[in-house]
Amino acid sequence: MQYFTTAVALLSTSLLTSAAPTASAPLDRRACSVAYPQAIGFPINFDIHQDAGGANKNYNALTFSNIPAGSYGCQLEANFPAGYPITSSGNSQVNIYSVSGDNGGSLFGTVTFASSPVAPTKFIINSAKCETLMTYRMEIASEDQAGRVAFADTKDAGLTMTYNC
């Protein structure tokens, strides 16, 4: 009988310790995939502007054609390192409209492109269902005020589409 009691006590102790939670390594953030705008080469020089009264509008197109089918969580971002040169004057707020996909023609987001002199700057403009072709039109947000914003989009600065995060 004593053998049976000792065996049961040992068995129950080993079951309890094996079922107890154990310390695990901290979870690492998953790396996102990044798509860059379609272009012949870098830099892509964006120059979005208009004169007073909305005259002489200069729109810029932004296309991502390299997002794999089946991707998820597409997020349009603008990233600039500290002190990145961005030229702006007047009303430089920019509306970004979807051109392709289910929401073609609708306002996708509004942003004022800027960089900090001391730290990197990141703007999350909006997210959408991923498609293999995602095209946007950027224009000055004001209907009648003059405005301009210009910057060079490179692999290290500017607009990107992150996905699969």
The CATH number of domain 32-163, selected from 3.40.50, 2.60.120, 1.20.1260, 1.10.20: 2.60.120
In single-letter form, the type of residue at position 136 comes to: Y
Q: To which residue do tokens 């953030």 refer? A: 29
Average pLDDT over residues 140-160: 95
Whole-structure pTM value: 0.77
Where do the domains of the chain lie?
32-163
Residue 78 bridge partners (DSSP): 123, 159
pLDDT band at 4; cut points 50, 70, 90: very low
- pLDDT, averaged across the chain: 85
Average pLDDT over residues 71-98: 96
Q: What is the pLDDT of residue 84?
A: 97
Q: What is the pLDDT of residue 109?
A: 96
Q: What is the pLDDT of residues 25-80, one digit of tens each?
A: 555 556 889 999 987 667 889 999 999 998 999 999 999 998 999 999 999 999 99
Chain centroid to Cα 76, Å, comes to 4
